[in-house]
Structure 1
Amino acid sequence: MQRVRLQEWLKLSFQQRVGIPFEEFWFQRWLQGLPGGTRVEKAGLPRRSIEKRLGDRLIVHMHPRDMIRDVNFKGVGGKRPSSSAFLWDGEWDESRGDLRHGSRYQFIADLDEHRDDLTQTQRFQEHAARLKAGKPWASAHEGILLDSEEKILAYLQIYLDFLDDMACHGFDTERGKDTLGVVVTREGHLLKINRGLHRLAMAQRLGLASIPVTVMAVHRQWWEKVTAGTTGQAALNRLALALGDCPPEKRPGRLDPGKDQGPIQWPPAIDQK
């Protein structure tokens, strides 16, 4: 666990002292139309620099049950664009998963349905089986070791308490270490990426009226369409305005790694109970 924390500290320190200043230097050249700026855009534009300029303008509000598709990189051979780049090339947006049938929603639904006896949940039974086999589940990153049934139950109760808190107080953007990240496809539709999936599943389970998601990257083809040959601040402004017209993608993709499983029956929304 100490090794993981040290690695995280070293990574963060390098980003702050070397990576971010380097990105900012070149982004400024693009922003001001200076030599080398076109190469910065060709390389994908640094995501952190764009987040610094646009801030809350990258946030889009939507009904959580509309956000049903995510990017599944298996359909493109596992090839992922750089998380440091804001412009993504490739066919990634045609490879999608269905969050309604994903592990996070199934986990949250199972907890909710068996809230009076968490030992009946699939996740408890999986962790208990590992415990019995002498291989308790552990997460070095989170500092968790489930080496007793009591710890397994306490771990599951944390998620159930989070769900109940959201039911009482709504979606709290301050809770959770990650924002609910999304990306924009070449068609201008939103796909979920692997950040905040448990909180999204909770909001879907409850049927909250609206949640905020943050755009982390966009397809280069869509960027070129909405910026229409502009660069610098003018391009950023056109991007920010266009984000408000981006709906969640609801259709399966051409390169999906699995068959479409169709819709599910959502439980009644919390305000309808």
Structure 2
Amino acid sequence: MANQYTFPGPVYKRLPPDMRPPSPSLAQRFLDWIPVHDFMAARSGFTSRFNRTVARLATEGGSGLSAAQSHFHFGDALFLTIDPKIVRTRLRDNFFDGNRPRWIGRHFLDGGDWRPILQPINRSFSHEEIVEICQLRRNFREGLCYRRYADNINSGVAVRRNRVTINTIDKLDSYFEYYLALIENIEENGIVPRGDLGLKDQTSQWHRWTRSLWQDLAERDIGVAIDASGRLVRHTSGKHRMAAALALGIDSVPVEIRLVHAGWLLRRSERLGLSPEEALLATIKRARLKGWPVK
């Protein structure tokens, strides 16, 4: 269906090599950490804004409606369990919209052409690392990913993973050992919803050379987006857990819908004879019973 849909607005593009991803201001970081405005907006006139925004973005393109507002408004209604094998692509975190670089996770609704910033899920560094650890387990030092990183470190080139600088072999070992522990836990217990976990994730280990404290505090369930064809694509957090689920053959993982293509939702709304908000909720409810994709 994506090839039958005419995307309004500019085509999204990968960031040029010389363009840095956007960095939020201190004021924006504060608002993200204490989102009082989004909390209040989620409880005042949200439904009418949501429905108007879907109609506008489907015809004009662009993005709208804060992801935080949508999270506060919909709450648990955005969660469902899926078979991870249906998720075959991922959205790049940062992209160029024709005017400026942007982070994909800022908004809940979008009407742009995502195709240039979609990538097969198995082509990400995180996916390669996890698959390699699943195969080699405690022999992870023999893997191509580990050896590549070790060669960089030994040459004086630090590795940047999870917003943490890895500049010694000890730190590199800690990084791989943490994800080995994560894989072993997932193998035993499956993917556990974030609400059931503390800051130690699924490993019962502290990991300061593996992830930044900010990532620990901001971590959420595996994120997915609904694209213009109604397919689920991986979006923002949960890349290592999704990779582990796929590598281990797990057939059920909890996910949270964090981005919805306005073109798909408007068509879904018209098909069901419901408002866009009602159509989204009805589709998720049906998916919990019938699975995704929803016919």
Same fold (TM over 0.5): yes
Confirm or deny: 8 A CA contact 2:81 2:255 kept in the other structure: yes
User: What code does the residue aligned with 1:63 have?
Assistant: D
Which stretch has the larger CA shift, 202-211 or 236-245?
A: 236-245
TM superposition shift of 1:157: 0.8
Going from structure 1 to structure 2, the CA distance change for 1:234 and 1:123 (only over 3 Å counts) comes to same
Going from structure 1 to structure 2, the CA distance change for 1:119 and 1:39 (only over 3 Å counts) comes to closer
The 1-side partners of 2:145 and 2:220 are apart by: 23
Going from structure 1 to structure 2, the CA distance change for 1:229 and 1:152 (only over 3 Å counts) comes to closer
Residues 1:223 and 2:270 aligned together: no
The 2-side partners of 1:235 and 1:98 are apart by: 29
The 1-side partners of 2:271 and 2:36 are apart by: 26
Residues 1:68 and 2:68 aligned together: no
Going from structure 1 to structure 2, the CA distance change for 1:99 and 1:40 (only over 3 Å counts) comes to closer
Confirm or deny: 8 A CA contact 1:26 1:40 kept in the other structure: no
The 2-side partners of 1:191 and 1:46 are apart by: 19
TM superposition shift of 1:113: 2.2
TM superposition shift of 1:38: 4.4
Residue number in structure 2 paired with 1:109: 131
TM superposition shift of 1:240: 0.9
Aligned residue runs from structure 1 range 29-40, under 5 A: 29-31=45-47, 38=52
Residue number in structure 2 paired with 1:86: 108
**Secondary structure, counterpart of 1:239 in structure 2:** helix
Going from structure 1 to structure 2, the CA distance change for 1:156 and 1:99 (only over 3 Å counts) comes to same
The 1-side partners of 2:87 and 2:280 are apart by: 21
Residues 1:132 and 2:159 aligned together: no
User: What code does the residue aligned with 2:75 have?
Assistant: G
Q: Give the TM-score taking structure 1 as reference length.
A: 0.70
Residue number in structure 2 paired with 1:269: none
Which of 51, 55, 58 is the aligned partner of 2:78?
A: 58
Which of 184, 188, 201 is the aligned partner of 1:168?
A: 188
Residues 1:97 and 2:141 aligned together: no
Residues 1:240 and 2:281 aligned together: yes
TM superposition shift of 1:23: 7.5
Which of 221, 234, 252 is the aligned partner of 1:210?
A: 252
Task: Tell me the alpha carbon deviations over residues 30-66 of structure 1, each in whole angstroms, 9 at most, x when there is no partner.
Answer: 53x59xx947974622322222122121113111122
The 2-side partners of 1:248 and 1:163 are apart by: 27
Going from structure 1 to structure 2, the CA distance change for 1:41 and 1:52 (only over 3 Å counts) comes to farther
The 2-side partners of 1:186 and 1:40 are apart by: 13
TM superposition shift of 1:223: 2.1
The 1-side partners of 2:146 and 2:102 are apart by: 32
Task: Tell me the alpha carbon deviations over residues 78-107 of structure 1, each in whole angstroms, 9 at most, x when there is no partner.
Answer: 965763322101111575321134332221
Structure whose CA Rg is larger: 1
Residue number in structure 2 paired with 1:156: 176
The 1-side partners of 2:120 and 2:44 are apart by: 39
Give the superposed CA RMSD: 3.8
**Secondary structure, counterpart of 2:260 in structure 1:** strand
The 2-side partners of 1:8 and 1:74 are apart by: 18
Q: Give the TM-score taking structure 2 as reference length.
A: 0.66
Confirm or deny: 8 A CA contact 1:30 1:40 kept in the other structure: no
User: What code does the residue aligned with 1:113 have?
Assistant: Q
Which of 44, 48, 55 is the aligned partner of 1:28?
A: 44
**Secondary structure, counterpart of 2:229 in structure 1:** coil
User: What code does the residue aligned with 2:254 have?
Assistant: P
Going from structure 1 to structure 2, the CA distance change for 1:161 and 1:80 (only over 3 Å counts) comes to same
Confirm or deny: 8 A CA contact 1:87 1:217 kept in the other structure: yes
Q: Decide which structure has greater strand share.
A: 2
The 2-side partners of 1:225 and 1:121 are apart by: 46
Which stretch has the larger CA shift, 197-206 or 64-73?
A: 64-73
The 1-side partners of 2:174 and 2:125 are apart by: 20
Give the gaps of 5 or more residues in structure 2: 1-23, 57-62, 195-200, 202-215
User: What code does the residue aligned with 1:180 have?
Assistant: I
Residue number in structure 2 paired with 1:257: none
Going from structure 1 to structure 2, the CA distance change for 1:139 and 1:79 (only over 3 Å counts) comes to closer
Pairs aligned (count): 236
Residue number in structure 1 paired with 2:231: 189
